[in-house]
Amino acid sequence: MKKIDYSHERKHIHELANHLTIIQGAVKKVLRNIDEKKLDVPEEKERLAKADDYLKKSIDSLRELRTHVHARIEAQEK
Structural domain spans, the chain:
18-77
pLDDT band at 59 (very low <50, low <70, confident <90, very high): confident
Q: What is the per-residue pLDDT for 40?
A: 65
Q: Is the pLDDT of residue 76 over 70?
A: yes
User: The whole model's pTM is what?
Assistant: 0.64
Gap between the Cα atoms of 78 and 76, Å rounded: 5
Q: Say if residues 39 and 48 touch (Cβ distance below 8 Å).
A: no
DSSP-based helix, strand, coil % in the chain, nearest 5:
85, 0, 15
Q: What is the per-residue pLDDT for 17?
A: 86
The DSSP call for residue 28 is H
